[in-house]
Structure 1
């Protein structure tokens, strides 16, 4: 069974996020805000949050407000993709979450209840006050139980087994990986994946398998190094479920 992540033979993956810095840095800079709902008494499981963040990015990219030439968000997304592809994950609970939900955006719910709201890109220094006051730190999440093998045939976003990142940072990275995979697809495969609800899985790669995953045949996220990890670190690889 084919997967929407499958690439034509010998086709190289898209450039990693943050590439061509000499060009991207001279353009107006935008950021894609993502907000994860993090209630004190019922936080989401880590893997569910990571997968939901990736699906939220894909849901925005497939939204008619982005894909239609005269779409309400199309110009902002184009400007964001022309510069560095920045994503920032913040957390909200209670009234903060309700107020964030009143801003234009899309809320995506995970298979196990995680909730992530994605907003159209904003200027780097132009955060709405409802989002600007939300905290970036404090998104350390756990899985109650190990997630187990990825479902058969489902695209997998493989995490670097040698890096330690907060859940918020990792959510941004899985969003990056999903976006790189999206860029590789033609319109028919994008429509197929969207119609299925963007099924995917996030797992930590076995240490022995990581070198082969990063050999240049699959989309790889190389972080710009603004927070937590060194510039150029390979964080996530997007692989078709049929290639596991």
Structure 2
């Protein structure tokens, strides 16, 4: 495995889509032990970002934390990232602006800017031990309108949102972050190095019904082998039913969905 810290994801993925929906709802652990990655979305009141660019920034930031050299064995972040990946890779997106956005820059994490839209993924940890700079941020209450980003850039991994599922920008940000992590977990060393050279950038789009039908993995192993597609199946903590496939992530290749 080229990304050892993500190895538990690769081990789980092969059977995940084959489980009945009710089995994908992960029971809540002891509240004091639940771990999550905070993903902070910059949403200034006067100059809100474009929705698609913000989702692309969030997707890249989440993966960048996991593959940062500090998250590898022997690094300062390794224990925190490993403990989180070994369980449910829960993410909680929060919004910030002004002084609150500046405050979270001092916490361990990675900030990504895509066309002026900024997201910062923070080091995962126990939800009960959130830093005050994060705990005070709002989780819900704001959204962004759909935009028209145009065709996805060729050569970038493509993250397709389910056209039949409505998600807030915070929920979608968490889901595309899951998508980049699952994709990276299955790549070989050369592919992962190529993605690193691109800064782990990706394209996020809402799938057309045709794209979704063409890429949807009835057989996860076959979908990866033939079309380089992985699927994010939600655990049902918030907004949508457990077992819902929210995102299809495709490594760049020729295929029916591109």
CA displacement at 1:30 relative to structure 2: 1.1
The match for 1:115 is: 118
The match for 1:38 is: 43
TM-score (norm 1): 0.87
Give the alignment partner of residue 224 of structure 1, picking from 220, 235, 239: 235
Count of residue pairs the alignment pairs up: 230
Conserved? CA contact 1:14–1:184, under 8 Å: no
SS for the counterpart of 1:157 is strand
Extract unaligned runs of 5+ from structure 2. Answer: 1-9, 224-228
CA displacement at 1:188 relative to structure 2: 2.6
Root-mean-square deviation (Å) = 2.4
Conserved? CA contact 2:25–2:235, under 8 Å: no
The runs of at least 4 aligned residues of structure 1 exceeding 6 Å deviation read 19-27
Conserved? CA contact 2:26–2:235, under 8 Å: no
SS for the counterpart of 2:55 is helix
Separation in structure 2 between the aligned mates of residue 65 and residue 29 of structure 1, nearest angstrom: 22
The match for 1:73 is: 77
Separation in structure 2 between the aligned mates of residue 12 and residue 138 of structure 1, nearest angstrom: 36
Q: 1:139 to 1:183 in 2, by over 3 A?
A: farther
The 5 A counterparts of 1:138-157 are 138-143=141-146, 145-157=147-159
The match for 1:205 is: 207
TM-score (norm 2): 0.82
Q: 1:185 to 1:224 in 2, by over 3 A?
A: same
The 5 A counterparts of 1:51-130 are 51-67=56-72, 69-110=73-114, 112-130=115-133
SS for the counterpart of 1:125 is helix
Conserved? CA contact 1:24–1:82, under 8 Å: no
The match for 2:13 is: 14
Conserved? CA contact 1:24–1:83, under 8 Å: no
Separation in structure 1 between the aligned mates of residue 97 and residue 118 of structure 2, nearest angstrom: 11
Q: 1:23 to 1:95 in 2, by over 3 A?
A: closer
Greater percentage in helix: 2
Extract unaligned runs of 5+ from structure 1. Answer: 1-10
